[in-house]
Amino acid sequence: MREKDRVSRWREEVILRRTDLECSLRWFHHHNETWRVRRDTTAKVKQQGHLAYAEKQMSVWKALEDRAKAALVDTEKVYSQVSFLKSTNAL
């Protein structure tokens, strides 16, 4: 019984981790796109300082997005190797 509960808690943890990473990924992507729109708007009025700042913010949010994607891929690899998380009928 304890082992079954432990497996259940691990499965729940996997779901929560994936959900958190996916939410973070969407959040970072949203901010990257927000700054892309601001950059494009600023480029039209040729404000170089604002343009540089928007590009810097885009690169920051893009880097965070890339790190979140890599973490999600790594997490999926690790969890896919754990046999008791694959089967829903374990124990």
**What are the pLDDT digits (tens) for 20-65?**
999 999 999 999 999 999 999 998 888 999 999 999 999 999 999 9
**What are the pLDDT digits (tens) for 73-91?**
888 887 777 766 665 554 4
Instruction: Give the integer Cα–Cα distance in Å for 83 and 7.
Output: 11
> Nearest Cα to 34, choosing from 6, 57, 11, 51?
57
Q: Which amino acid is at 86?
A: K
- For the residues of the chain, what is the DSSP string, one character each? -HHHHHHHHHHHHHHHHHHHHHHHHHHHHHHHHHHHHHHHHHHHHT-HHHHHHHHHHHHHHHHHHHHHHHHHHHHHHHHHH-HHHH-TT--
Q: Which sign does the torsion angle of CA 54, 55, 56, 60 carry?
A: positive
Q: Write down the pTM of the prediction.
A: 0.75
